[in-house]
Amino acid sequence: MSLPVHVVPSLTGASAGAEVTVDGDEAHHAVAVRRLRVGESVVLTDGAGQSVVGSVSSTGKRVFSVTVESVSSDPAPTPSFTVVQALPKGDRGELAVEVLTEIGVATIVPWAASRSVAVWKGERAEKSLARWRSTAREAAKQARRSWFPSVAPLAVTADVTALVSAADVAVVLHEEASSPLGAVNLPDAGEVLVVVGPEGGLSPEEVAGFEAAGAVTVRLGAEVLRTSTAGLAAVSALLSRTSRWS
């Protein structure tokens, strides 16, 4: 049975025999909801490659402590994957974030594409971004990731174009593209960026701008996937060609 995973701000200096304290909402959920008990083994991670395994030494209302038994430090997975996700309708954005986190994406960028049906403005934008970030955090714990993904602030098309220019490899999923995803040459290291358009599709101006910035426009197959699952399919196909999944 896999040990439960909890997140702490930092594990700097953690060593066998040391005690690490977990407090706040993370501790409240563990103690009050999951009924964490003294003596139970858990994993703590800082989401930046550092993890410890230990046993619970004490619990409180919104706090618990763990005596460290072992420490591990994992390098960041490479190549890293960034997905620019056009805003989907309803709760499909959280679905996209969840599955992208589960397969190991490093960065998720919400994008207000010209044909996006969903709109993030004002208070709604803040709440929606918070939900995406919370979803990523919980999915990373469930997937037992030692490196948690970051969810960037809402991007506009000019921001995405800049990301395309900076990436080592950038691909844009487009149902009208002639090149298959399998034709993309992948680097052994660096950043691979995948742009996923909205339900209404990419505009010609967006496609032209991304291609001018260095992106390769590709298709997944004959089928047209939902925007909330296209990123999962594309990144999975690309990961299968890297050392990360071989």
Confidence category of residue 13, pLDDT binned at 50, 70, 90: confident
Architecture of the domain spanning 5-73: Beta Barrel (2.40)
Cα Rg of the chain (Å, integer) = 20
pLDDT of residue 1: 66
211: which 2 tokens?
A: 């291609």
| CA–CA dist 126, 26 (Å, integer) | 21
Q: 79-103 pLDDT, tens per residue? A: 999 999 999 998 999 999 999 999 9
Query: What value does the mean pLDDT of the chain take?
Result: 95
pLDDT of residue 116: 93
pTM of the model: 0.94
Q: 54-80 pLDDT, tens per residue? A: 999 999 999 999 999 999 999 999 999
The CATH fold of domain 80-245: Alpha/beta knot (3.40.1280)
CB within 8 Å of 142: residues ≥ 6 apart: 5, 102
Q: 198-246 pLDDT, tens per residue? A: 998 999 999 999 999 999 999 998 888 999 999 999 999 999 999 999 8
SS3 62: coil
pLDDT of residue 53: 97
pLDDT of residue 79: 98
Chain-centre distance of CA 87, in angstroms?
15
Domain ranges across the chain = 5-73, 80-245
| CA–CA dist 214, 172 (Å, integer) | 10
Cα distance between the two ends of the chain: 25
Alpha helices by DSSP H, 167-244: 204-212, 227-239
Q: 20-51 pLDDT, tens per residue? A: 999 999 999 999 998 999 999 999 999 999 99
Assess whether pLDDT exceeds 90 at residue 104: yes
Q: Are 134 and 94 in contact (CB under 8 A)?
A: no
Q: 136-178 pLDDT, tens per residue? A: 999 999 999 999 999 999 999 999 999 999 999 999 999 889 9
pLDDT of residue 2: 85
pLDDT of residue 236: 97
| CA–CA dist 53, 72 (Å, integer) | 9
